[in-house]
Amino acid sequence: MTSRYENRPVKVTTSRDSENVKKRGNKNIVHYVGPTFDKISNDLYDSEQLEYHVWKIGTRFYKLASEHYGDPRLWWVIAYFNKKPTDSHVSLGDVVYIPTRWHPIFDAIAEHNLEY
The domain locations on the chain are 1-34, 42-111
The per-residue pLDDT for range 78-114, each reduced to its tens digit, is: 998 888 989 999 999 999 999 888 887 777 766 655 4
pLDDT at 75: 92
Work out the pLDDT band at 60, boundaries 50, 70, 90.
very high
**Global pTM value:** 0.61
Q: Exposed/middle/buried for 36, CB within 10 Å: 0-12, 13-18, 19+? A: exposed
Q: Per-residue pLDDT for 55 more than 60?
A: yes
Residue 54 is given by DSSP the state E
d(CA 18, CA 112): 36
Q: Exposed/middle/buried for 60, CB within 10 Å: 0-12, 13-18, 19+? A: middle
